[in-house]
A = this chain, B = another copy of it.
Amino acid sequence: VVIVGAGFAGLATARALERAPVDVLMVDRANYHTFQPLLYQVATAGLDAENIGRAVRGIFQKQSNFDFRQAEVDGVDWGTRTLLTDGPPVPFDVLVVAAGATTDTFDVEGVAEHGLFLKTLWDALALRSHVLRQFERAAADPRVIDEGALTVVIVGGGATGVELAGAFVELFGHALTKDFRHHEVPRAKVVLVEATDHLLDAFGPAARHHALRTLQARGVDVRVGAVVDRVTPTSVHLRDGTVIPAGTLVWAAGVRASPVADALALPQERTGRIVVDDTLRVAAHRDVYVVGDIAAFRLKDGSLLPQVAPVAVQQGHHAAAQIQRAFAGQPARPFRYRERGSMATVGRHAAVVELPFGVRCTGSVAWLMWLILHLVTLMGFRNRVSVFLSWAWNYATFDRGSRLIVDPSEPWTSS
Protein backbone atom coordinates (compact mmCIF):
# COMPACT_ATOMS: atom_id res chain seq x y z
CA VAL A 1 0.00 0.00 0.00
CA VAL A 2 1.53 3.29 -1.12
CA ILE A 3 0.18 6.48 0.50
CA VAL A 4 0.95 9.78 -1.21
CA GLY A 5 0.98 12.62 1.30
CA ALA A 6 1.82 13.00 4.99
CA GLY A 7 -1.06 15.29 5.95
CA PHE A 8 -3.97 14.41 8.21
CA ALA A 9 -5.53 12.01 5.71
CA GLY A 10 -2.30 10.17 4.93
CA LEU A 11 -1.33 9.81 8.58
CA ALA A 12 -4.79 8.54 9.51
CA THR A 13 -4.67 5.95 6.73
CA ALA A 14 -1.20 4.71 7.65
CA ARG A 15 -1.96 4.47 11.34
CA ALA A 16 -5.20 2.58 10.75
CA LEU A 17 -3.19 0.01 8.77
CA GLU A 18 -0.86 -0.65 11.72
CA ARG A 19 -2.08 -4.20 12.32
CA ALA A 20 -3.03 -5.01 8.72
CA PRO A 21 -1.00 -7.67 6.89
CA VAL A 22 0.38 -5.14 4.41
CA ASP A 23 3.51 -3.11 3.87
CA VAL A 24 2.82 0.61 4.02
CA LEU A 25 5.03 3.07 2.15
CA MET A 26 4.30 6.77 2.57
CA VAL A 27 5.61 9.21 -0.03
CA ASP A 28 5.87 12.97 0.55
CA ARG A 29 8.07 15.72 -0.83
CA ALA A 30 8.83 16.86 2.72
CA ASN A 31 10.15 14.45 5.34
CA TYR A 32 7.78 15.86 7.94
CA HIS A 33 4.11 16.31 8.74
CA THR A 34 2.94 19.91 9.09
CA PHE A 35 0.20 20.69 11.60
CA GLN A 36 -1.48 23.18 9.30
CA PRO A 37 -4.06 24.59 11.78
CA LEU A 38 -1.26 26.33 13.66
CA LEU A 39 0.68 27.67 10.67
CA TYR A 40 -0.80 31.08 11.28
CA GLN A 41 0.86 31.16 14.71
CA VAL A 42 4.24 30.48 13.15
CA ALA A 43 3.59 33.31 10.69
CA THR A 44 2.75 35.68 13.54
CA ALA A 45 5.72 34.70 15.72
CA GLY A 46 3.61 32.89 18.32
CA LEU A 47 5.27 29.52 17.74
CA ASP A 48 8.57 28.24 16.39
CA ALA A 49 8.35 26.55 13.02
CA GLU A 50 9.72 23.28 14.28
CA ASN A 51 7.06 23.07 17.01
CA ILE A 52 4.38 22.22 14.49
CA GLY A 53 6.37 19.97 12.18
CA ARG A 54 7.25 16.40 12.97
CA ALA A 55 9.44 13.99 11.02
CA VAL A 56 7.25 11.29 9.46
CA ARG A 57 9.69 8.56 10.37
CA GLY A 58 9.58 9.71 13.97
CA ILE A 59 5.78 9.48 14.06
CA PHE A 60 5.83 5.88 12.82
CA GLN A 61 9.00 4.74 14.58
CA LYS A 62 7.09 1.97 16.35
CA GLN A 63 4.92 0.82 13.42
CA SER A 64 6.86 -2.09 11.96
CA ASN A 65 5.00 -2.35 8.63
CA PHE A 66 5.71 1.32 7.83
CA ASP A 67 8.37 2.85 5.63
CA PHE A 68 8.81 6.28 4.11
CA ARG A 69 10.15 7.76 0.88
CA GLN A 70 10.93 11.44 0.40
CA ALA A 71 10.01 12.16 -3.20
CA GLU A 72 7.83 14.34 -5.38
CA VAL A 73 5.24 12.45 -7.46
CA ASP A 74 5.43 13.50 -11.14
CA GLY A 75 3.16 10.93 -12.76
CA VAL A 76 2.02 7.36 -12.86
CA ASP A 77 2.34 4.35 -15.12
CA TRP A 78 -1.00 2.57 -14.72
CA GLY A 79 0.23 -0.38 -16.79
CA THR A 80 3.02 -1.35 -14.40
CA ARG A 81 1.24 0.24 -11.41
CA THR A 82 4.20 2.48 -10.65
CA LEU A 83 4.46 6.06 -9.43
CA LEU A 84 6.98 8.19 -11.27
CA THR A 85 8.90 10.53 -8.97
CA ASP A 86 11.94 12.80 -8.95
CA GLY A 87 13.79 9.78 -7.50
CA PRO A 88 13.47 6.05 -8.20
CA PRO A 89 9.96 4.94 -9.32
CA VAL A 90 7.64 3.55 -6.64
CA PRO A 91 5.60 0.42 -7.49
CA PHE A 92 2.28 -0.09 -5.70
CA ASP A 93 -0.48 -2.66 -5.33
CA VAL A 94 -2.94 -0.34 -3.64
CA LEU A 95 -2.61 3.43 -3.92
CA VAL A 96 -3.98 5.98 -1.45
CA VAL A 97 -3.84 9.54 -2.77
CA ALA A 98 -3.75 12.00 0.13
CA ALA A 99 -1.67 14.80 -1.35
CA GLY A 100 -3.85 17.63 -0.03
CA ALA A 101 -4.39 21.06 -1.44
CA THR A 102 -2.50 24.17 -2.34
CA THR A 103 -3.42 27.80 -2.86
CA ASP A 104 -5.53 28.99 -5.78
CA THR A 105 -4.80 32.54 -6.90
CA PHE A 106 -7.69 32.47 -9.41
CA ASP A 107 -5.13 34.00 -11.80
CA VAL A 108 -5.57 37.39 -10.17
CA GLU A 109 -2.83 39.58 -11.61
CA GLY A 110 0.24 39.89 -9.40
CA VAL A 111 -0.81 37.49 -6.64
CA ALA A 112 1.45 34.63 -7.66
CA GLU A 113 4.45 37.02 -7.89
CA HIS A 114 3.88 39.34 -4.94
CA GLY A 115 1.47 37.50 -2.66
CA LEU A 116 2.36 35.43 0.38
CA PHE A 117 0.59 32.20 1.30
CA LEU A 118 0.01 29.96 4.28
CA LYS A 119 0.08 26.31 3.29
CA THR A 120 3.57 25.13 4.26
CA LEU A 121 6.13 25.80 6.97
CA TRP A 122 8.14 27.72 4.38
CA ASP A 123 5.15 29.89 3.63
CA ALA A 124 4.74 30.66 7.33
CA LEU A 125 8.42 31.53 7.78
CA ALA A 126 8.43 33.62 4.62
CA LEU A 127 5.35 35.54 5.77
CA ARG A 128 6.69 36.19 9.25
CA SER A 129 10.06 37.25 7.86
CA HIS A 130 8.48 39.50 5.25
CA VAL A 131 6.33 41.37 7.76
CA LEU A 132 9.16 41.78 10.28
CA ARG A 133 11.44 42.95 7.50
CA GLN A 134 8.94 45.69 6.66
CA PHE A 135 9.15 46.87 10.26
CA GLU A 136 12.95 46.90 10.06
CA ARG A 137 12.74 48.87 6.80
CA ALA A 138 10.40 51.36 8.42
CA ALA A 139 12.74 51.73 11.40
CA ALA A 140 15.59 52.55 9.04
CA ASP A 141 13.51 54.94 6.93
CA PRO A 142 10.06 55.97 8.25
CA ARG A 143 9.06 57.39 4.85
CA VAL A 144 8.25 53.88 3.64
CA ILE A 145 5.33 53.82 6.07
CA ASP A 146 3.55 56.35 3.84
CA GLU A 147 3.94 53.83 1.03
CA GLY A 148 2.12 51.20 3.09
CA ALA A 149 5.16 49.25 4.27
CA LEU A 150 3.43 48.50 7.58
CA THR A 151 0.07 47.61 6.04
CA VAL A 152 -0.81 43.91 5.86
CA VAL A 153 -3.69 43.07 3.55
CA ILE A 154 -5.19 39.63 4.07
CA VAL A 155 -7.48 38.42 1.30
CA GLY A 156 -10.03 35.82 2.33
CA GLY A 157 -12.38 35.97 5.33
CA GLY A 158 -12.41 32.27 6.11
CA ALA A 159 -10.88 30.76 9.23
CA THR A 160 -7.30 31.31 8.02
CA GLY A 161 -7.86 34.97 7.19
CA VAL A 162 -9.68 35.67 10.46
CA GLU A 163 -7.07 33.89 12.57
CA LEU A 164 -4.19 35.64 10.82
CA ALA A 165 -5.78 39.08 11.10
CA GLY A 166 -6.45 38.60 14.82
CA ALA A 167 -2.93 37.33 15.48
CA PHE A 168 -1.25 40.12 13.52
CA VAL A 169 -2.99 42.94 15.41
CA GLU A 170 -1.97 41.27 18.67
CA LEU A 171 1.63 40.94 17.50
CA PHE A 172 1.71 44.58 16.41
CA GLY A 173 -0.06 45.88 19.52
CA HIS A 174 2.15 44.17 22.08
CA ALA A 175 5.48 42.57 21.16
CA LEU A 176 6.32 44.81 18.21
CA THR A 177 5.19 47.98 19.98
CA LYS A 178 7.79 47.22 22.64
CA ASP A 179 10.43 46.10 20.14
CA PHE A 180 10.09 49.22 18.00
CA ARG A 181 9.31 51.72 20.75
CA HIS A 182 11.40 54.46 19.10
CA HIS A 183 9.45 54.06 15.86
CA GLU A 184 5.98 54.55 14.48
CA VAL A 185 4.44 51.14 15.02
CA PRO A 186 0.97 52.58 15.75
CA ARG A 187 0.74 53.33 12.04
CA ALA A 188 0.84 49.59 11.25
CA LYS A 189 -2.46 48.35 9.85
CA VAL A 190 -4.20 45.07 9.17
CA VAL A 191 -6.86 45.00 6.45
CA LEU A 192 -9.04 41.93 5.95
CA VAL A 193 -10.64 41.76 2.51
CA GLU A 194 -13.52 39.37 1.81
CA ALA A 195 -15.47 39.07 -1.45
CA THR A 196 -18.79 37.93 0.05
CA ASP A 197 -20.74 40.04 2.52
CA HIS A 198 -19.64 38.13 5.62
CA LEU A 199 -16.68 36.47 7.33
CA LEU A 200 -16.47 32.76 8.25
CA ASP A 201 -18.72 31.37 5.54
CA ALA A 202 -18.71 27.93 7.15
CA PHE A 203 -20.23 29.26 10.40
CA GLY A 204 -23.61 30.56 11.54
CA PRO A 205 -24.66 34.19 12.06
CA ALA A 206 -23.67 34.41 15.74
CA ALA A 207 -20.14 33.25 15.01
CA ARG A 208 -19.81 35.56 12.03
CA HIS A 209 -20.98 38.47 14.10
CA HIS A 210 -18.60 37.65 16.96
CA ALA A 211 -15.63 37.41 14.61
CA LEU A 212 -16.44 40.66 12.84
CA ARG A 213 -17.09 42.60 16.03
CA THR A 214 -13.99 41.28 17.76
CA LEU A 215 -11.67 41.97 14.84
CA GLN A 216 -13.04 45.49 14.42
CA ALA A 217 -12.79 46.22 18.14
CA ARG A 218 -9.14 45.13 18.04
CA GLY A 219 -8.34 47.41 15.16
CA VAL A 220 -8.64 45.25 12.03
CA ASP A 221 -10.00 47.14 9.02
CA VAL A 222 -12.54 44.57 7.76
CA ARG A 223 -13.84 45.12 4.22
CA VAL A 224 -16.56 42.73 3.14
CA GLY A 225 -17.97 42.70 -0.38
CA ALA A 226 -14.54 43.73 -1.66
CA VAL A 227 -12.97 41.91 -4.59
CA VAL A 228 -9.27 42.12 -5.44
CA ASP A 229 -8.60 43.14 -9.01
CA ARG A 230 -4.81 43.13 -9.10
CA VAL A 231 -1.78 43.33 -6.87
CA THR A 232 1.58 45.10 -7.15
CA PRO A 233 4.57 44.82 -4.80
CA THR A 234 3.35 47.91 -2.94
CA SER A 235 -0.43 48.03 -3.41
CA VAL A 236 -3.67 46.10 -3.63
CA HIS A 237 -6.25 47.28 -6.18
CA LEU A 238 -9.88 46.46 -5.50
CA ARG A 239 -12.46 46.08 -8.23
CA ASP A 240 -14.35 49.18 -7.03
CA GLY A 241 -11.27 51.29 -7.75
CA THR A 242 -9.94 51.52 -4.20
CA VAL A 243 -6.18 51.28 -3.97
CA ILE A 244 -4.68 50.12 -0.67
CA PRO A 245 -0.94 50.84 -0.37
CA ALA A 246 0.40 47.67 1.24
CA GLY A 247 3.82 46.12 1.64
CA THR A 248 2.35 42.72 2.45
CA LEU A 249 -0.42 40.78 0.73
CA VAL A 250 -1.49 37.45 2.19
CA TRP A 251 -3.65 35.37 -0.11
CA ALA A 252 -5.94 33.11 1.93
CA ALA A 253 -8.82 33.15 -0.50
CA GLY A 254 -8.67 30.08 -2.67
CA VAL A 255 -7.87 26.40 -2.42
CA ARG A 256 -6.90 24.13 -5.26
CA ALA A 257 -6.05 20.42 -5.24
CA SER A 258 -2.36 19.50 -5.12
CA PRO A 259 -0.61 19.21 -8.52
CA VAL A 260 -0.37 15.48 -7.78
CA ALA A 261 -4.03 15.32 -8.90
CA ASP A 262 -2.99 16.57 -12.35
CA ALA A 263 0.04 14.28 -12.44
CA LEU A 264 -2.17 11.23 -11.91
CA ALA A 265 -4.48 12.29 -14.76
CA LEU A 266 -7.62 11.03 -13.02
CA PRO A 267 -11.02 12.70 -13.53
CA GLN A 268 -11.12 15.98 -11.60
CA GLU A 269 -13.75 18.54 -10.69
CA ARG A 270 -13.42 22.29 -11.19
CA THR A 271 -10.77 23.01 -8.50
CA GLY A 272 -8.70 19.97 -9.39
CA ARG A 273 -10.03 17.55 -6.78
CA ILE A 274 -10.15 13.92 -7.91
CA VAL A 275 -13.68 12.59 -8.30
CA VAL A 276 -14.36 9.58 -6.05
CA ASP A 277 -17.34 7.29 -5.64
CA ASP A 278 -19.07 6.71 -2.32
CA THR A 279 -16.37 4.18 -1.29
CA LEU A 280 -13.61 6.80 -1.85
CA ARG A 281 -12.29 4.98 -4.93
CA VAL A 282 -11.88 6.29 -8.46
CA ALA A 283 -14.03 4.71 -11.14
CA ALA A 284 -11.28 3.48 -13.44
CA HIS A 285 -8.97 1.97 -10.84
CA ARG A 286 -10.62 0.01 -8.06
CA ASP A 287 -7.42 -0.15 -5.98
CA VAL A 288 -6.94 3.60 -5.90
CA TYR A 289 -8.40 5.48 -2.93
CA VAL A 290 -8.46 9.25 -2.70
CA VAL A 291 -8.83 10.91 0.71
CA GLY A 292 -8.68 14.34 2.30
CA ASP A 293 -8.50 17.73 0.61
CA ILE A 294 -7.59 16.25 -2.76
CA ALA A 295 -10.77 14.12 -2.91
CA ALA A 296 -14.06 15.40 -4.38
CA PHE A 297 -16.66 13.45 -2.39
CA ARG A 298 -20.16 14.46 -3.43
CA LEU A 299 -22.98 14.33 -0.89
CA LYS A 300 -26.53 13.34 -1.82
CA ASP A 301 -27.52 17.00 -2.00
CA GLY A 302 -24.92 17.53 -4.72
CA SER A 303 -22.45 19.52 -2.59
CA LEU A 304 -18.86 18.49 -2.00
CA LEU A 305 -17.51 17.68 1.45
CA PRO A 306 -15.44 20.62 2.80
CA GLN A 307 -11.64 20.50 2.78
CA VAL A 308 -11.10 20.30 6.53
CA ALA A 309 -9.14 18.09 8.90
CA PRO A 310 -12.04 16.02 10.35
CA VAL A 311 -13.08 14.91 6.84
CA ALA A 312 -9.48 13.98 6.04
CA VAL A 313 -9.07 11.90 9.19
CA GLN A 314 -12.38 10.06 8.79
CA GLN A 315 -11.70 9.36 5.12
CA GLY A 316 -8.23 8.05 5.98
CA HIS A 317 -9.70 5.63 8.50
CA HIS A 318 -12.37 4.58 6.05
CA ALA A 319 -9.92 3.92 3.21
CA ALA A 320 -7.73 1.85 5.54
CA ALA A 321 -10.75 -0.22 6.57
CA GLN A 322 -11.77 -0.82 2.93
CA ILE A 323 -8.24 -1.88 2.03
CA GLN A 324 -8.39 -4.50 4.78
CA ARG A 325 -11.86 -5.60 3.66
CA ALA A 326 -10.62 -5.97 0.09
CA PHE A 327 -7.75 -8.17 1.27
CA ALA A 328 -10.27 -10.30 3.14
CA GLY A 329 -12.40 -10.56 -0.01
CA GLN A 330 -15.21 -8.40 1.39
CA PRO A 331 -16.99 -5.68 -0.61
CA ALA A 332 -16.26 -2.01 0.06
CA ARG A 333 -18.62 0.01 2.23
CA PRO A 334 -19.76 3.54 1.46
CA PHE A 335 -18.17 6.42 3.39
CA ARG A 336 -20.43 8.44 5.66
CA TYR A 337 -19.16 11.69 7.17
CA ARG A 338 -19.96 12.30 10.80
CA GLU A 339 -20.14 16.04 11.39
CA ARG A 340 -17.72 17.02 14.15
CA GLY A 341 -18.27 20.75 14.12
CA SER A 342 -15.86 23.54 13.39
CA MET A 343 -13.94 26.14 15.29
CA ALA A 344 -11.78 29.16 14.62
CA THR A 345 -9.92 31.51 16.90
CA VAL A 346 -10.03 35.27 16.55
CA GLY A 347 -7.48 36.15 19.20
CA ARG A 348 -6.99 36.31 22.95
CA HIS A 349 -10.19 35.13 24.71
CA ALA A 350 -12.07 35.12 21.42
CA ALA A 351 -13.03 32.15 19.28
CA VAL A 352 -16.07 30.58 17.69
CA VAL A 353 -17.11 26.96 18.11
CA GLU A 354 -19.98 25.11 16.45
CA LEU A 355 -20.61 21.52 17.44
CA PRO A 356 -23.25 19.05 16.25
CA PHE A 357 -26.76 19.23 17.79
CA GLY A 358 -26.72 23.02 17.72
CA VAL A 359 -24.10 23.51 20.43
CA ARG A 360 -22.57 26.90 19.68
CA CYS A 361 -20.39 29.22 21.66
CA THR A 362 -18.17 32.23 21.26
CA GLY A 363 -15.71 34.16 23.41
CA SER A 364 -13.51 32.85 26.23
CA VAL A 365 -15.11 29.42 26.56
CA ALA A 366 -14.79 28.80 22.82
CA TRP A 367 -11.22 30.04 22.97
CA LEU A 368 -10.34 27.56 25.73
CA MET A 369 -11.98 24.72 23.79
CA TRP A 370 -9.97 25.70 20.73
CA LEU A 371 -6.71 25.70 22.73
CA ILE A 372 -7.37 22.31 24.27
CA LEU A 373 -8.48 20.64 21.05
CA HIS A 374 -5.45 21.85 19.12
CA LEU A 375 -3.09 20.85 21.88
CA VAL A 376 -4.56 17.36 22.05
CA THR A 377 -4.57 16.75 18.30
CA LEU A 378 -1.06 18.08 17.80
CA MET A 379 1.34 15.29 16.92
CA GLY A 380 3.87 14.14 19.47
CA PHE A 381 4.32 14.62 23.19
CA ARG A 382 7.35 16.83 22.74
CA ASN A 383 5.61 19.24 20.40
CA ARG A 384 2.63 19.38 22.72
CA VAL A 385 4.79 20.41 25.66
CA SER A 386 6.60 23.04 23.58
CA VAL A 387 3.40 24.52 22.24
CA PHE A 388 1.75 24.51 25.65
CA LEU A 389 4.69 26.33 27.21
CA SER A 390 4.82 28.82 24.34
CA TRP A 391 1.14 29.56 24.71
CA ALA A 392 1.41 29.95 28.47
CA TRP A 393 4.33 32.32 28.00
CA ASN A 394 2.63 34.34 25.28
CA TYR A 395 -0.54 34.55 27.34
CA ALA A 396 1.12 35.62 30.56
CA THR A 397 3.57 38.13 29.10
CA PHE A 398 1.83 39.36 25.94
CA ASP A 399 5.24 38.67 24.47
CA ARG A 400 5.73 36.60 21.34
CA GLY A 401 8.22 33.86 20.61
CA SER A 402 10.69 33.72 17.85
CA ARG A 403 10.76 37.00 15.98
CA LEU A 404 13.67 35.89 13.82
CA ILE A 405 13.74 36.99 10.21
CA VAL A 406 14.61 33.71 8.53
CA ASP A 407 13.23 34.13 5.05
CA PRO A 408 14.19 31.09 3.02
CA SER A 409 13.96 33.13 -0.16
CA GLU A 410 16.69 35.51 0.98
CA PRO A 411 19.12 33.66 3.19
CA TRP A 412 22.62 34.95 3.62
CA THR A 413 25.40 32.46 4.16
CA SER A 414 28.58 32.58 6.09
CA SER A 415 31.04 31.74 3.39
The interface of chain A, by Cβ under 8 A from chain B, is 29-32, 48-51, 53-55, 57-58, 61, 67-72, 87-88, 102-103, 105, 112, 115, 117, 119-123, 126, 132-133, 136-137, 139-141, 175, 178-182, 382, 385-386, 389, 393, 399, 401-406, 408-409, 411-415
Contacts of A67 on B, CB cut-off 8 Å? 139, 182
Asked if B182 and A403 make an inter-chain contact with CB atoms under 8 angstroms apart, the answer reads: no
Query: Shortest CB–CB separation between residue A175 and chain B, in angstroms?
Result: 8
- Whether A179 contacts B137 in the complex (CB less than 8 A), given A31-B132, A50-B402, A415-B102, comes out as no
> CA separation between A381 and B171, bound complex, in Å?
20
A411–B53 CB distance below 8 A: no
Contact A178–B68 (Cβ < 8 Å) = no
Q: How far is the CB of A319 from chain B (nearest CB, A)?
A: 23
Closest partner residue, chain B, to A116 (CB atom): B415
A32 → chain B closest CB, angstroms: 4
Q: Output the least CB separation between A207 and chain B (Å).
A: 28
Within the complex, which residue of B57, B122, B402, B412 is in contact with A412, where a contact is CB–CB below 8 Å? B122
CB distance from A5 to the nearest CB of B (A): 14
A104 to B, closest residue via Cβ: B415
Q: Which 3 A-B pairs have the closest CB atoms?
A: A119-B414, A57-B179, A55-B403
User: Which of chain B's residues have a CB closer than 8 A to the CB of A136?
Assistant: 31, 69-70
Residue of B nearest to A105 (CB): B415
CA distance A402 to B133 in the complex (A): 26
Nearest-neighbour CB distance to chain B for A45, whole angstroms, equals 9
Which one of B49, B105, B112 contacts A406 once the chains associate, using CB atoms below 8 Å? B49
28 A-B pairs in the complex with CB atoms less than 8 angstroms apart: A30-B404, A30-B405, A30-B412, A32-B403, A32-B405, A48-B50, A49-B49, A50-B401, A50-B406, A53-B406, A55-B402, A57-B179, A57-B180, A58-B179, A67-B139, A69-B136, A70-B139, A88-B141, A103-B414, A105-B415, A112-B415, A120-B412, A121-B404, A122-B406, A123-B413, A386-B386, A408-B408, A409-B411
Q: Which partner residue on chain B sits nearest A180 by CB separation?
A: B57
| Chain B contacts for A415, CB-based, 8 A | 102-103, 105, 112, 115, 117, 119
Q: Do A404 and B55 have beta carbons less than 8 Å apart?
A: yes
Q: Please measure, in the bound complex, the distance between the C-alpha atom of A406 and the C-alpha atom of B122, giving whole angstroms.
A: 8
Q: Measured between alpha carbons, how far is A133 from B414 in the docked complex, in Å?
A: 21
Residues on B with C-beta less than 8 A from A140 are 69-71, 87-88
Contact check, A32 vs B404: say whether CB atoms are below 8 A apart: yes
Please determine whether A57 and B121 come into contact, CB atoms closer than 8 angstroms: no
C-alpha gap A412/B402 in the complex (Å): 22
Contacts of A385 in B (CB 8 A): 389
Q: Which residues of B contact A31 (CB under 8 A)?
A: 132, 136, 403-405
CB pair B389–A68 under 8 Å, yes or no, is: no
For residue A100, give the distance in angstroms from its CB to the closest CB of chain B.
10
Taking CB atoms, residues of chain B closer than 8 Å to A53 are: 402, 404, 406
In the complex formed, the residue of B with least CB distance to A87 is: B140
Q: Which of A48, A137, A139, A408 counts the most chain B CB atoms within 10 A?
A: A408
The answer to whether B403 and A57 touch across the interface, beta carbons within 8 angstroms, is yes
B141 touches A87 (CB 8 A): yes
Q: Enumerate chain B residues within 8 angstroms of A49, measured Cβ to Cβ.
A: 48-50, 406
CA of A48 to CA of B137, assembled, Å = 27
Given B55, B72, B119, B182, which contacts A179 in the complex, CB threshold below 8 Å? B55
Contact A61 B178 (CB under 8 A): yes
Quick one: given A117-B415, A123-B414, A415-B103, are A404 and B70 in contact (CB under 8 Å)? no
Least Cβ–Cβ distance between A370 and chain B, in angstroms: 23
**Which one, B139, B180, B181, B386, contacts A389 given CB within 8 A?**
B386
> Hey, which chain B residues are within 8 Å of A408, CB to CB?
406, 408, 411
Contacts of A32 in B (CB 8 A): 403-405
